[in-house]
Structure formats: structure tokens, C-alpha cells
Chain A
Amino acid sequence: MKLTTPHMGTVEYLLTDLFARLGVDYMPPPPTTQKTLRLGLQHGPEFACLPLKLTLGNLIEGLDEGADATLMVGGCGPCRFGYYADIQRRIIKGLGYDYEAIVLEPPAHDFRQFVATLKHIAPDKSYRDIWNAFKTGFRKAQAYDRVDRAAIETRCYETERGATDRVREQAQALLAKTWSHHEVIEAETAALRLFDEMPRRDVTPLRISLVGEFYLLLEPFINFDIERYLGERGVWLERSVYLTDWIGPGTKNPVGGHPDEEVARFAAPYLEYRVGGEGQATVGHTVMARLHGHDGVIQLLPFTCMPDTIAKAILPTVSEREDIPVLTLIVDEQTGKAGVHTRLEAFLDLLVSRRRARAAASA
């Protein structure tokens, strides 16, 4: 079996490590490009969201490169994402590809099924081997997430453009070399220290909280590389979701730092129910932003995304009552980078003048 998976932020680091431990022949698809998007648009249903189309394109490109099996995550909650694995299997089989489509339930959703799927992929490994591989591999993926978090909290201070990216690469290289649990933890400490040791500008940056749909927040190809764009303009960032927090079996979200229950509690005055996907989390994080001293919130969602569309309708009220500016960006294949940059620039201007007005008022 030669296995491929779609791209999704840092998932590749987790899977490369996990499959190396399990002795599975794993091959990530070629990097996501315009060609990937074209394939997804050509074969995907028009009104599905962009995540379906891009991951569909990834799978087709992976199969074209010689994979004979695909692994796609299923999903939790009433968001359509849960059906995508099956829809993609039907589309790709319809195109005449002969391969095995495997669906992986996230451990947070169905841990037993998750382990059973891994056992299917690596039949000669014992359950104990699989558990150990997952435990260490997952811990390592958390370290990658913490490196990403350090990067978005550091980039605004960098004295030279690109310095944070170089440090991030060094940090990832340290992690890539590790194998044992102990090595992972040591490398994580060393990797995070690299960020602390970077030379810093002495500035008080704007602080923005990035909230919204999971895939869009994680995948630079479709979010216009928003973290780098804002970071280079001197903005300190918080992101509402990290890969391991999302797929992990717990609800404490150790990387992002805000447990599901806490976020739901803050959302409750505006949205009491989980509406699928990240709908409630988007509202909760927006409410929390002001308390955390952030200047503004940016919500990212793919066009036709149901849960975050619900959140979008609620955010103007949250914005007004909590006194926190919110910019919503809806992304589909038609969305132009220039238009997004214009809105982001204007939003930063808005935040800067609010800061100045406040400073003037308190002086």
C-alpha cells in the first residue's frame, strides 16, 4: 500500500512521523498549487466549500503520483466536512481511479474507530505499538503546533524580514530529527528557545485574534498566507485553533490555551448551541478577544460554510456590545488577493486610529 493524504496545515508533519513509526509507505501529495485548485473545481460540486475542492485536488494529484490508497479524515459534528471523505471517494472512483479510500475518524470523535483504522493500515503492528506510535507522534505534532504559535507571536518583533521564517525552519528541523518521547520534549524546549533568542524591535504591536473555520485558518494556500502578511506588518497574532487541539481526544486545547468549555461559556450569551464546525468557537473567541487585550478580530470562512455563516450573522452584535472591531473575510476560488489586502490594510488603519484615539483620551 502506498498511502497519500490531503494537505492541511501541519498535518503532514504528524502523518510523516506516525507512518514512519508504523512502517507505512506514506507519500504526501505534491504541494497545493493553482493546478490542485483547478482539479478540485473541475471535479467537485460547485456549492461545496473550498476545503472539499482543494483536498479533492490533493488526492487526485497524490494518486497521479503513484499512490494506491488515500486517507481522508471524517469529521465531528453536523458540518459537511464529515461527508467529504465519502463524496471524494465517489468522485474519484467515478473518474476511473482504482484505489482504496480509507476514512480516518478523528480520535476526538471516535477513538476506537480511529485505532481500528490505523490497525487496518498497519496490520502487522500490535495495538500497543499503534498506541505508542500515536502517543509520541501526537506529542511531536503538538510541538510543531507550538512552534507555529511562537512564530505568530514573534514575527511582529522581527528586526529583519524573514528572520522568523528562518527560525521556524530551524525549529522544525530540530523536531524532525527526534524519535523518542524524551527527545521530542527536549527538542521542543530547544526549538521554542530559538524564538526567545531572536533580536526584537522595541514596539507595542497591534494584537489581532484570528478566528473562523478550521481548514482556512490552517492552510496558507487559501488564507492568503494571512499570518505572514499580518506578522510582517507588525501584528501580534492569536489563532483560535491548532491542528492537535482540533484532532486531539481532549477538549482542553493545550496549544491554543483555551478549553472548549471556556470558549462555549463566553459564546453562550450570544450563541448557546454548538452549531457544528467552529461556529460557536468563532463567537466565543470573539467575545474573549477584548478581555485578552486584543485590538481586533478577523474571521475567516469559506463561502457556503454553514457554521461560520451562522457565526458571521452574530458577530456584528458581538462587535458592538463587546466593543471589538471585527473583519469577516469570506473566501472562495474567486476571491482576489488584492481585494483581501485592501481590506486588511484598511482594517489595520482602523485599529491604529482606535489605539491613537484611546491613547489621546486617556492622556
Chain B
Amino acid sequence: MKGYLGVDVGSVSTNLVLMDEDLAVRADVYTRTQGQPIAAVQRGMDELVAQFDRSWDIAGVGATGSARYLTGVVVGADTVKNEITAHAVAALHTVPDVRTVLEIGGQDSKIILLRDGVVTDFAMNTVCAAGTGSFLDHQAQRLGIPIEEFGTYALRSEKGAQIAGRCGVFAESDMIHKQQMGYATEDIIMGLCESLVRNYLNNLAKGKTISAPIVFQGGVAANAGMKRAFEAALGTEVIIPPHHHVMGALGSAILAKEHVERTGRETAFKGFETSQLEYRTSSFHCKGCANNCEIAKIEVEGEVLARFGSRCGKWDVDSAESKRSMEPVFVVD
């Protein structure tokens, strides 16, 4: 059977999706990146293959996430797209008339506005990671609660405690203060969710019109407390898609399918065996001119696969992979 692969390598998690020709998710993997994107992709591929009960003929592969270029070279991607576009595509597929996408991932959060199936505006958090998955993770650890149960705790609360959510550091000291005062853990957790939602709406969504249908996705969407807080603040239902945690990967699989069908090209996929290969990455400064570009190099079994980062292009490897994934040219016909 024909399948399409989507790989989303972010700062915190690496997600893979196997999608069939009808855009249905047939297998998915959510694993930690742990600062080693290549190893995470290889591990993810192994885990994905273990979920198959039949052989799939991979017809297209898409890469996204902050490590998309590196990933594109390793797996042999047909499309390399930014995570904003990938998330919007997946949300549109799940809820065709979606008008707002709230996405909170490991270290970044985004808001995407769509009208009539076209992205019209977006924003992404900049220097502050308060309210993202890493922060919630850290707080769960501090409270001694598994992150998976964070939402259940929040739902048991009748009224959230007031927590200052403007800054992660202050939110944490405020939570400690509330604990010392004897507030119930449930109320503190719900209060944290409420303050993070307030922070998200006041910063990221500032000046933007949020209208329904609203889709909430990303790892943090698993937290029922966050859903409840968003619904209370927005006064409307917030839809959490079934594959909310791997929407970026799903979006990139859809983009890969569209690309392969449009161009009629054979996929560049290198096969699941890449998980067995040994990759080496390194970097150096080019001394060719005053630009002093930092070049990242990636090698497999002694062969240079790609070099990124030179302005003039003199270090570019003339291979199909690097050409395909390095230079997305936006030409409108």
C-alpha cells in the first residue's frame, strides 16, 4: 500500500507520522529529541516500523520543525517546510473550516489565523518560553506529578488559584508561595493553566481576531486544564484533533503528498534502513571572505551528505538531497 511519511523534529519532541492515500494516520510516534535530532529521527523510524503490520510503499516524505533541513537530508525528504505552514495544513485537513489554530509545543507557541482555507496571519513567540511545554514539564516535575496527569488534576479544581503568568520565573515563585499558603495542588495547577492562557492571549494573540472554529494542537493540547482554560477565556468550544500531538508531522506528510503528485517525481526517501547508518556532524568557519560563514557538515559512512550555512554557496554539496531541501524557491507562475 502507498504511504506518506511526515517527520517533525522540534526542540523538545520528534514526531513521525505514516499516512495513507486517504490522508488517514496509520501509525505515529512521539519521542524526545534530547538535543540529538539525527538519533531521534532514527529511533523514531524504528518505532514507527514496529507499528506496521504490513509493508508500506513510501511514495513521499516531508520534513518540518526547527531541524527540518538536517532531517530532510537524513531521510531524503521531498518537501522541507516550516512548522507554521505544516501545522496550518494539518489543521485544515482535520477541520476544513478552521479559522484559528492555537499551537503550543515544547519551546514555542504559535497562533495561526485562516480565512476560507488560506492562512491570513500568524505569530510565534519570540524570546520567552513561559507557558510552553518545557515550562509545564518543569512544573509537573517540581510538583511530583507525571505530566500526563497534569490535566486530570486541573479538572478536579473548582476554582483556580491566581498565579502571575507574565513571566515563567515569577509564575514559579508565585506557585511556591501558594503552596506554602496551603492551597490545594489541583487549584494551583488550574491557576497555572489559566495564567498561561492569559499570557498567550495577551502576548501572542494581541491585536488578532480569534474566531471559531478554533483548533488547539501541539503537545500541550493533551493537557485538559489548558483546554478548559482556553474555553473559559474565549467563551467558545476549542477543538482538539485526535492526532493533536503530531499535527506538524501530519501536515508535512500532506505537503509531501501534494508535492509528489504535482511534480510527478519519484520520492527521494532513503528507506527505513537509514536508522542503521552512522551519521557524523561537525562545523567549521569558512575563511574565504569577510563573511566568516559558519558551515555545518553532515557525513554518512565517510561520505559528505550536505553542508549548510555558506552565503555564496561554495560549500554546497551538489547532490539531489541538498538541492531538493536547501533552497525552497518561491516562484509564482
Which chain A residues have a beta carbon within 8 Å of chain B's beta carbons?
31, 33, 161-162, 201, 203-206, 225, 228, 232-235, 313, 316-317, 319, 325, 330, 334-335, 338-339, 342-343, 345-350, 352-357
Tell me the residues in window 66-85 of chain B with beta carbons closer than 8 Å to chain A beta carbons.
Answer: 66, 81-85
**For the complex, is B265 an interface residue (Cβ under 8 Å from A)?**
no
Contact with A along B33-44 (1 / 0, CB 8 A): 000000000000
Docked Cα-Cα span, A356 to B208, in Å, equals 24
- Asked whether B292 lies within 8 Å of A33 as measured between CB atoms, the reply is yes
The interface residues of chain B, by DSSP majority, are classed as loop
Count of chain B residues near A, Cβ 8 A: 30
Measured between beta carbons, the chain B residues less than 8 angstroms from A232 are 327, 329
**The 5 nearest A-B residue pairs measured at CB:** A346-B84, A316-B207, A345-B82, A349-B85, A234-B331
- Asked whether B207 lies within 8 Å of A342 as measured between CB atoms, the reply is no
Given A204-B332, A206-B330, A357-B116; A346-B122 close (CB under 8 Å) = yes
- Asked whether A353 lies within 8 Å of B119 as measured between CB atoms, the reply is yes
What's the minimum C-beta distance from B115 to chain A, rounded to whole angstroms? Answer: 9
Docked Cα-Cα span, A334 to B328, in Å, equals 26
Could you list 28 A-B pairs, sorted by A, with CB under 8 Å? A31-B290, A161-B327, A162-B312, A201-B331, A203-B333, A205-B332, A228-B311, A233-B329, A234-B330, A234-B332, A317-B207, A319-B121, A330-B126, A338-B66, A342-B66, A343-B84, A343-B124, A345-B81, A345-B82, A345-B328, A346-B82, A346-B85, A350-B120, A352-B330, A352-B332, A353-B118, A355-B332, A357-B117
What's the minimum C-beta distance from B112 to chain A, rounded to whole angstroms? Answer: 9
- Asked whether B126 lies within 8 Å of A339 as measured between CB atoms, the reply is yes
- Asked whether A349 lies within 8 Å of B119 as measured between CB atoms, the reply is yes
Point out which of B82, B116, B208, B327 has the most chain A C-beta atoms below 10 A from its C-beta: B82
Which chain B residues have a beta carbon within 8 Å of chain A's beta carbons?
66, 81-85, 116-122, 124, 126-127, 207-208, 290, 292, 311-313, 327-333
Measured between beta carbons, the chain A residues less than 8 angstroms from B121 are 319, 325, 350
What's the minimum C-beta distance from A94 to chain B, rounded to whole angstroms? Answer: 30
Docked Cα-Cα span, A295 to B66, in Å, equals 26
Docked Cα-Cα span, A30 to B208, in Å, equals 44
What's the minimum C-beta distance from A233 to chain B, rounded to whole angstroms? Answer: 5
- Asked whether B313 lies within 8 Å of A161 as measured between CB atoms, the reply is yes
Kindly identify which residue among B82, B120, B328, B330 contacts A325, using a CB–CB cutoff of 8 Å: B120
Measured between beta carbons, the chain A residues less than 8 angstroms from B118 are 350, 353-354, 357
Given A162-B312, A325-B121, A342-B66; A334-B333 close (CB under 8 Å) = no
- Asked whether B84 lies within 8 Å of A204 as measured between CB atoms, the reply is no
Q: A234-B329, A350-B120, A354-B120 are in contact. List 17 more A-B contacts (CB 8 A).
A: A33-B292, A162-B312, A203-B333, A235-B330, A335-B126, A338-B66, A339-B124, A342-B66, A342-B124, A349-B82, A349-B85, A350-B119, A350-B121, A354-B118, A355-B332, A356-B332, A357-B116
- Asked whether B330 lies within 8 Å of A233 as measured between CB atoms, the reply is yes
Measured between beta carbons, the chain A residues less than 8 angstroms from B119 are 346, 349-350, 353
Docked Cα-Cα span, A353 to B290, in Å, equals 38
- Asked whether B332 lies within 8 Å of A206 as measured between CB atoms, the reply is yes
Kindly identify which residue among A204, A349, A353 contacts B333, using a CB–CB cutoff of 8 Å: A204
Point out which of A161, A162, A313, A350 has the most chain B C-beta atoms below 10 A from its C-beta: A350
Docked Cα-Cα span, A235 to B328, in Å, equals 12
Measured between beta carbons, the chain A residues less than 8 angstroms from B124 are 339, 342-343
Docked Cα-Cα span, A348 to B292, in Å, equals 28
Kindly identify which residue among B66, B127, B292, B331 contacts A203, using a CB–CB cutoff of 8 Å: B331
What's the minimum C-beta distance from A156 to chain B, rounded to whole angstroms? Answer: 8
Docked Cα-Cα span, A325 to B330, in Å, equals 17
- Asked whether A350 lies within 8 Å of B122 as measured between CB atoms, the reply is yes
Measured between beta carbons, the chain A residues less than 8 angstroms from B127 are 334
